[in-house]
Amino acid sequence: MGLIDVLLLDLDGVVRHYDPAATDAIEKRSGLSPGKLHETAFEPRLLQRVVTGGLTRAQWVDHVAAAVGPVAATAWATQRPSVDREVLATIRRLRVAGVKVCLLTNGTDRIGAELAELRIADDFDEVFNSAEIGVAKPDLRIFMHVLRVLGVPRSSVLFLDDSQANVRGASAVGMRAHLFTSASDLTDACKTYHLA
């Protein structure tokens, strides 16, 4: 099956989680219809501009505020995510065992600061942020960029993401790729490739 040298993980929905109930509560308090914040913030064209570096996170929040009001937008933008402790424990164990662990996120210009705030910046050997690269998952070019920077064979990279489209993108360039739905998916993938 071949050795895995690099574990490549998505950030949101894998390592870091936002509570949808918190967003629901903001919408209720602000008199917004259910789903309005998500629909506004993650409108595909707007999101694409943010995650490819065309807009800063602050500008993104301004766009959301223009549609839903500044109070709701600020409350949404300042939510505190949680870190998946089980995933983090696996990451730390693998790094001690000599596996390189990297992030590949469709992120904003604030990713570095956000990782530092969560105190997990030092848990990754490399952070690949689409906002800095200028291309976002599932575009195959971002996966090729990661492979070029890491300088490893594509089959030696194990990628986990909570988006099926992103998993397909990684598979298309020859990475071993698995859909993430919970920490047990990471554990199972590590066992499959004899990492844990």
In tens, the pLDDT along 43-97 reads 999 999 999 999 999 999 999 999 999 999 999 999 999 999 999 999 999 999 9
**129-147 burial string, b = 16+ CB within 10 Å, else e?**
bbbebebbbbbeebbebbb
Q: Please report, rounded to a whole number, the percentage of residues in the chain having pLDDT higher than 90.
A: 97
Residues 108 and 141 in one domain: yes
Cα gap 20→130, rounded to integer Å: 24
Residues 143 and 187 in one domain: yes
**91-116 tens-digit pLDDT:** 999 999 999 999 999 999 999 999 99
Residues 94 and 178 in one domain: yes
pTM, full prediction: 0.96
Residues 72 and 96 in one domain: no
